[in-house]
Each structure stands twice: as C-alpha cells, then as structure tokens.
Chains A and B, each alone.
Chain A
Amino acid sequence: MLTRSRRWAGAVPDPLLGLLGAAAFAALLEVLPRTGAVSPDELPPFSAIVRALAAEAGSSGFWGALLDTLRGWGYGLAIAVAAGLSLGLLIGSVPVLREATASTIEFLRPIPSVALVPLAVLLYGTRLGSTLLLVVYAASWPVLVQAIHGVQDVDPVARETAAAYRFTRWGRLRYLVWPTALPYLLTGVRLAASVALVLAVAGELIIGSPGLGSAIGLAQASNAVAEMYALIFVTGALGVCVNLLTRALERRVLAWHASMRTEVPA
C-alpha cells in the first residue's frame, strides 16, 4: 500500500493535480446535463456555457457591463480605503478617541450594508451613487479596524527610542507608525477588496444599476440560462483576479517585512 501510494504520488506533480481537479470538474459539468442527471434547462453542458461565454465576449454590452462593475468596485474601494485609512490612523493615534469610538465602531460594523439598499434606491436610483453607497459603507470597516489595530501595535520600546532621539511627529509617523501599521493596512485592503466586489454585484442585482449583477438577473429572467452561467463565471473570474491582485500588492509592498522573507538554509 505504501509503495502504491508513493508511486501514485510521484506520478503526478503537484501543480498538475490542481489542473486535474479543474478538468474533472469541467467534465462533470459536461456529463451531468447530457445524461439527464440534471435538466439542461437548469444547468446546460459546460460546452454550451463556453460557447455562450465566447458570444458574450464578442458583444459590446458585455464589456460595458464589466466596466460598470469595475467602476463601482474601483471607485468604492478607493473611497473606502482613503476614508478608513485616515480615520483609522487618527483614531488609533489618540487613545481617548480610540476608547470613545470603540463601542460605536463595534455597533456600526456588523450592520449589513445591504440594509441601505432602499435608501440608495431613493437617493440615487440606478445611478453609480447607489453602488458607491453600499460599497463604501461595507468596505470601509475592514480598513478602519485594521488601521486602528496597526497603530496600536507599535512596539513600546521602539516608541520610547523614537522619543529619546526626539523624532518629529512626521518622523514618528513615517519611520515608526507607518511600517508597523502597513501589514495590517494591507490585510484591511485585501478584505475590503473582496467585500467591495460582493456589494457591487449585489447592488446591481437588486437595484438594477448597470453591471454584471444586473446582466445576470436579466439573463435569468429572460430564461437565457447558458448566458447566465457564462456571466456568473466571469464574475467568479473577476473575484479570483481581485484576490490575486491584492495578494500581489501585499507581496510587493511588504517585501521588506519579516513574514515575507524566507530563511535560506546555509
């Protein structure tokens, strides 16, 4: 058994295992509808979805929807990071403010931002503002909380050393607070990016503002099932890209950080 297991493990390199899994999943999606295990009206064959995807890629409507979603996501995320970062650094640096705001943040943070959907509709209808309201509210909290934690995490010895060398306020921020808080901030940005995408798509789906979300809802309502799955696939791919992007950002910006550097065996 050990020999067989070892032989099997050696036969397929690790990177290929992932591809194998993905291929198996695609094959499953192709077979289930064709054998009638699942109705093709509910889940069309994988090849039909691929064809629908190719057709979508050739239409300007699709690219318009993609851009709309990216716009809502990008603007919302940028605003959320700017707001969360500013407030977070401020609150984190002033102990009294930190204590005074703790309960308010703790109360406001868990509120689901989709609760604001009706308000967004009244104020902005199907315009970009609706998406931004939802995205900014939801994505600000991870950044804010991480920024506060980051500032708090400054090493007391380092802080006192900076004081002993009479660092200016700016110097303290630049050389002491910022490097300490940066890992936390990037974690906040990564979380915020994921949340922003979810809320951008959710807002479009419910409110009907232009974007991938509303395109999916429309396809479903029109019984264009393969197109719906194709659009969902694109949305998932977008999510994967967001994850990869934020991780790459983290790796690049934190190249100097201890957690990123690996010891080379002597």
Chain B
Amino acid sequence: MRTVLRGAGRLGYLLGLPAVLLTLWWVSTASSTDFYFPPLRTILSAFGETWFSARIVDDVLPSVARLAAGYLGAVALGVTIGVLLGSSRRVRLLAEPVLEFFRAVPPPVLIPVLMLFVGIGDTMKITVIVIGSMWPVLLNTAEGVRAIDEVLADTARSYGLTGAARLRRLVLPAASPQIVTGMRQALSISIILMVISEMFASSSGLGYTIVQFQRGFEIPEMWSGILLLGLLGFLLSLLFGRFEARALRWYRGWRQAQKGKS
C-alpha cells in the first residue's frame, strides 16, 4: 500500500506540472482569435492531419535518417581523430589552436561553405551535421585519452597489451565517460543543424516543411510542426539517456563505490 502510494505520488510529480501547463494552454487559447496563437485544440487536430499522412514518409523519415547518418558519422570521425590526437602529446599541441578555432566556429556558418562544395542535396545536410557535431566528440575524446591513468597504462604495457587490444581494453573504456559527454553535446548540435540546413536550403524535410507552413501562413500546421520537433528532441534525449546508462554502468558503479568510501 505504501509502495502504491509512493508510486502514485511520484507519478503525480512527474505528470502534474505538464498537465497543468497543457490545461492552461488549452483553456487560455480556447476562444483565441489571435491569428498567430490558435487554440491548442486546433493545433492538435492539425497535428494529426498534417503528420499522419504521406509527410511521414516524404519529410519526417528522411530528416531523421539524415540526422542519424550525420550523427553517427560525427561520432565515428570524432572518436577516431580524438584517439589519435590524445595518444601523442606533440601532435595534440601542434593541432590544438586550429582545433580550438574550428570548435569555436558556429556550425551553422558551414552551410554556405558546403553549398559551394556539394550543392544542396542530402550530402550537404549530412556533411554539415558531421562536421558541425564532430568537435565536442573529438575534443572530449582527446582529453579522455590524454587523461588515462598512468598506473593503468603502465600495467597494460607490462602485460604486453598493444595495438588493437590496448585500444579496445584500455584506451576506449578509460576515455568513455568523456566520449559520452561529447556525444551528448554532439546530439544537441546535430538536431539543430538538421533543422537549420533544411530551413536554409532544401526542398524537403522537417525544417523545410515547417518554414513552408509559416510562409503560407498555415499557422496551426506550423505550430504542429514545432511540437513535432519538440517531441523529436525529447525522444532522442530519452534514447541517449538509455544508451548512456548502459554504456557507463561500470562508471556509475565505480563512482558510487568511491563516494561510499569517503
């Protein structure tokens, strides 16, 4: 009984404020005649009509596919280069200023550059996501590799651990907390770049579709698109949380043990 009550309380906390906010939104716009802020009821019905249609296949799925391709490419590239940089102090020092500069360049300005090189097709969008999202992964990986515990490294060396085995058993696991941090940042940047690259130059995709609604003054449809992007961001965040919990289970356990010790 106590468990049930506690569970109900937790659920109340979890859903209480969202429910209140949605109710407020619904009630306060119910009789709205403001063209730009239509009733929530209208937005929700537009949501169903707009997105549960051919658009899912024509616009939503391609966007998500490009996002996935770009993000995975960024992670693969970032980890690879990051490991190389982190493994050699001199190479890292050599490359550091240039890398810091590229990290500081706001990723959206890559879009005009890549339009010159590869036009406005899928390649441009995926490349924008890869290049824009790569930096947090790369720099965090390099830092993680650089910071590997010396005792661990020496022990691995004395046991004759080299090459691929060293990479898989020592380098990647030791750097993984940093790598995952970089990956989380990269995910946010990827989503932003997916939307921007479609808004700026495209003829399909989520970003493009939403802008078209805005230009056509189809306001409830535009709002439903904004909601969809919000849901997408939220779902991807949940997915990443699951991945992080699994990938870093050992790290959490180790930290708990350390905390308990002191």
Contacts and interface: CB of A to CB of B under 8 A. Distances in A.
Interface of A: 9, 14, 17-22, 24-25, 41-42, 99-104, 106-119, 121-123, 197-198, 201-202, 205-206, 213, 216-217, 219-220, 225, 228-229, 231-232, 235-240, 242-243
B124 interface: no
Given A112-B229, A206-B199, A235-B105, 20 more contacts: A21-B93, A21-B94, A22-B97, A99-B13, A103-B14, A104-B21, A112-B195, A117-B210, A119-B222, A198-B108, A201-B108, A202-B108, A206-B200, A213-B108, A216-B112, A228-B112, A232-B105, A236-B102, A240-B104, A243-B104
Contacts, number: 164
Most central of B105, B113, B213, B233 by chain A CB within 10 Å: B105
Chain B interface size range: 35 or more
B234 A111 contact: yes
A41 to B, nearest CB: 8
A10 to B, nearest CB: 11
Nearest to B118: A42
Given A18-B97, A102-B13, A205-B196, A220 B18 contact: no
B17 A21 contact: no
B96 interface: yes
Given A104-B18, A118-B222, A18 B105 contact: no
Contact of B18 (A99, A103, A198): A103
A219 to B, nearest CB: 8
Nearest to A229: B113
Interface of B: 13-18, 21, 36, 90, 93-98, 100-109, 111-113, 115-117, 188-189, 191-192, 195-196, 199-200, 207, 210-211, 213-214, 219, 222-223, 225-226, 229-230, 233-234, 236-237
Contacts of A24: 94
Most central of B93, B111, B211 by chain A CB within 10 Å: B93
Contact of A114 (B97, B109, B199): B199
Contacts of A122: 36, 214, 219, 222
Given A14-B93, A115-B229, A202-B106, A42 B117 contact: yes
B100 A240 contact: yes
A119 B226 CA distance: 9
